[in-house]
Chain A
Amino acid sequence: MSHVNSSVGGVLEPILDRYARNPHHLMQILRETQERLDFIPEWAVDYLAEALALARVHIQAVIDFYAFFYDSPRGKYRVLFSDNVTDRMQGNTALLSRMLSKFALDQGQVSSDGLVSIDTTSCTGMCDQGPALLVNNYPVTQLSSQRIDQICELIKAQTPLVEWPSEFFNVEDNILRRDVLLSTEMASSQALKRAIELGREGMLAEMKASEFRGRGGAGFTTAVKWEACKNAPGETRYVVCNADEGEPGTFKDRVLLASFAERVFEGMTIAGYVIGASKGLVYLRAEYRFMLEKLHAICDARRKANLLGKDILGQKGFDFDIEIHMGAGAYVCGEETALIESLEGKPGRPRIRPPFPATHGYLGQPTVVNNVETMAQTTLIAQNGGAWYHGMGTNLSTGTKLLSIAGDCDRPGIYEYTFGVRIDKILEDCGARNAMAVQVGGASGTCLARHEFGRKIAFEDVPTSGAFMIFGNNRDMFEVARNFMHFFKHESCGFCTPCRVGTTLMSDILDKIASGKGTHYEMNELSRVHQLLRTTSHCGLGQSAGRPVYDTLQKFRPSYDRRLKHKDFEPAFDLDDALASAREIMERDDVSAHLGTES
């Protein structure tokens, strides 16, 4: 027994020490525990509950909530195929089947020797170089049958990940169009020095003059958020950088963090300077685990250069430092209050708003939550001034926007445009010749048909967090919508009734239509449930979950209609299917154990 205990402590004590036994760091402690043990065993839960003075059930609830925490063994190699619609278009389904058959496994099953499990996961943000998968949370891109076969061999030989061919883990930036953000040089500290020259009020005035709007999607004016936070009563303030880039089809924050992290951290530091915060937190999605060490190294270098830490750049009392927190597979944590809950070591369920984070955020204190791109763009405003920035884009959408372009085009990748750019111009630039539809803003965004390609990317016309997925003439928009709906069903946090049940209802209805049993009745049902979700859901996830279905119903109706049985109604209940458990008990599956079907 004492032997077991010492090994328990041997694994967990260094982790606990690293996080100062702070229960708010539960997510990080669980992640590191799992990185050591491949899953989080019961004894570890007990030990952590004791050490962190948390209810056991709380730790269990956190493990249960996040897709990438496991309370039972999931294999030494945990393979998750990215299952965004773009991965599907690149052929991930066949590759998944290939791998499953190589190991004679069902999807989600763990091999009997405990070596491997294979499943799917939500978009991993590699749409420009998919199909992609994660193995033990590290991305492998540009999958082909050959690469899959090699991976199978490596797993069978139990080769450690560090010995796998390094090109498997290549993640390219694919920056194909640069405007001011991606082409302006910035020596580290340049923007920060300028902000300090301007002073807190001066920098805020520049932000106001720029009329810059947040790049996470909602488009709230950043200066207003900063000012509200700056003026809110509180003991301490926080800057949070939302790097939980989970919107299917979005990968621009990945590129900013991979190659422009200095700008992101400097933007956070400027925000901290303006609002008077001494701590910044980056919430990095679990799928971007591969960048963690590099980001830590950049923070360390900035500390050495006195760009983080105490009395930054010699300014007495300007203390600011940055911590990086990892998520664990939950799209809903992109919602700012769910993200804060997660930062506090809890399941990521969105809070009731108001109060807003600007007054009651992390640990109840005034908090600014900004997207990665927002933080990076802030440095440009510091460098060149608000008036200069305001000169770009449209009246209501100033500046530039990064787009993550994927799908049916010759040149997928990152494109930076000034706001106001037309959809057809973008399509031309990326070599999309036969586009039939574009999904702008990801699964929760807008589906545009050909007659709308004259519209513009701008908050006042087609707003976007950055995703731009292109569908060619041969694509089936019903299947696109069905993929998105299953995504929302998987990612619904389950807090409120309409989203928890409605996303499942809509997925089930789409599955019924896909199986050829849909009728006009189902079409009305989809609209009805969507209207309920849109108006009564607790947060943006539920409010927008039905949108891809609604949009494609309006614009690509034939892709639904051709699947319908031309009847008014067909029951969803399948009598033969209902007898499956009876057959299982009887160990029968012969023809006479099935009810006859007309077909």
Chain B
Amino acid sequence: MENTFIIDGMPIPFEPGQNVLQAALAAGIFIPHLCFYPGLKPNGNCKLCTVIINGRHVSACTTLANSGIEVANNTPELNNKRRLMLQMLFVSGNHFCPGCEKSGNCQLQALAYDLEMMTPHFNHFFPKRTIDASHPEAFLDMNRCITCGLCVQASGEVDKKNIFALSGRGMASHVVINTPSGKLGDSDFAMSDKAARVCPVGAILPKRRGYAIPIGERRYDELPISSQTEFLTTRET
């Protein structure tokens, strides 16, 4: 069949140019992911969307869909690995879900529920991270940042402001702000920017709007993230 490939035995149609993740989501098949956002160039760093094609582990978001390929996705082996990566993200940052304004709307938390991550498993790193409250509309809480780079991309590719960048190396990788002071308040960042809306966790949050919707009634509280493929595909692009 032309322009069809297989995920876990299911035929999936695709449009030429689509990657495996896009095609899967469009067909209602969920593949866990954090650093992919519709309309932004896939960069493949979170590795949550790792699938197996022809015996090789690849990122679904950076692999073009191709007629006839067979993709293993929802398998115990891959989900174990994804759970391990989620645990890595949890222990390498400071994620305090119960008090976090993003709780229930957080993709990291939603995936942890969905993949049944019951404990963080590893020893917490408790890294020292910064909070930047210098901007009138938003604050940055780097405790929650998973260095997915979506804000960097959105600010560069869509907003054309280049406010964010990734700096450092290894575990010291971190997001920095393109102002002489390094403060968001000295940039022309606005809450209407694309960069303000793409963060999968709660690292960029609006000021003066807390818990408007009670925890428990938020997006991923209602339905598991794996049942929200339509939302994940059509989120404002």
Contact = CB atoms under 8 A, between A and B. Distances in A.
A92 B213 CA distance: 60
Contacts of B170: 489-494, 500, 503-504
A56 B178 contact: yes
A542 B170 CA distance: 11
Nearest to A525: B122
Contact of B88 (A64, A497, A538): A497
B50 interface: yes
B57 A535 contact: yes
Interface residues of B, number: 38
B89 A501 contact: yes
Contacts of B48: 497
Interface in B107-155: 122-123, 125, 146-147
Given A61-B167, A528-B84, A46 B47 contact: no
B81 A55 contact: no
A57 B166 CA distance: 9
A56 B180 contact: yes
A546 interface: no
A60 B62 CA distance: 28
Nearest to A353: B62
A593 to B, nearest CB: 21
Interface string A493-511: 1111110111111001000
B172 A57 contact: no
A495 B92 contact: no
Contacts of B88: 497-498, 501-502, 505
Contacts of A330: 169
Given A505-B122, A536-B81, A65 B180 contact: no
A501 B147 CA distance: 12
Contacts of A504: 92, 125, 170-171
Contacts of A347: 166-167, 169
A494 B176 contact: no
Given A46-B180, A536-B85, A500 B92 contact: yes
Contact of A492 (B45, B123, B169): B169
B195 interface: no
B6 interface: no
Contact of B162 (A55, A64, A494, A535): A55
A56 B45 CA distance: 24
B26 interface: no
B173 interface: yes
Nearest to A56: B178
B57 A64 contact: no
Interface string B58-99: 010010000000000000000001001100110110000000
Interface in A554-586: 572-573
Contact of B91 (A489, A501, A503, A535): A501
Specify the main secondary structure of chain A where it touches its partner: helix
A532 B172 CA distance: 21
Contact of A494 (B59, B122, B173): B173
Nearest to B62: A352
A57 B178 contact: yes
Contacts of A60: 165, 167, 176
A496 B176 CA distance: 18
Contacts of B204: none
Given A494-B171, A497-B45, A505-B122, A532 B176 contact: no
Nearest to A572: B123
B151 to A, nearest CB: 13
A149 B88 CA distance: 45
A64 B146 CA distance: 18
A64 B85 contact: no
B18 interface: no
B122 A61 contact: no
Given A494-B147, A495-B45, A55 B84 contact: no
Contacts of A61: 165-168, 176
A494 B85 contact: no
Contact of B168 (A56, A65, A536, A537): A65
A496 B171 CA distance: 10
B226 interface: no
Interface in A515-563: 528-529, 532, 535-538
Given A65-B167, A572-B123, A498 B173 contact: no
Given A494-B173, A528-B84, A57 B165 contact: yes
Query: 10 nearest interchain CB pairs?
Result: A494-B173, A501-B88, A57-B178, A572-B123, A61-B167, A492-B170, A57-B165, A64-B167, A535-B57, A494-B170
7 contacts: A55-B165, A57-B167, A61-B167, A490-B170, A493-B169, A497-B89, A538-B44
Given A57-B178, A504-B170, A504-B171, 14 more contacts: A56-B179, A60-B167, A60-B176, A352-B42, A489-B170, A491-B170, A494-B168, A494-B173, A496-B47, A502-B88, A532-B84, A536-B57, A538-B45, A573-B123
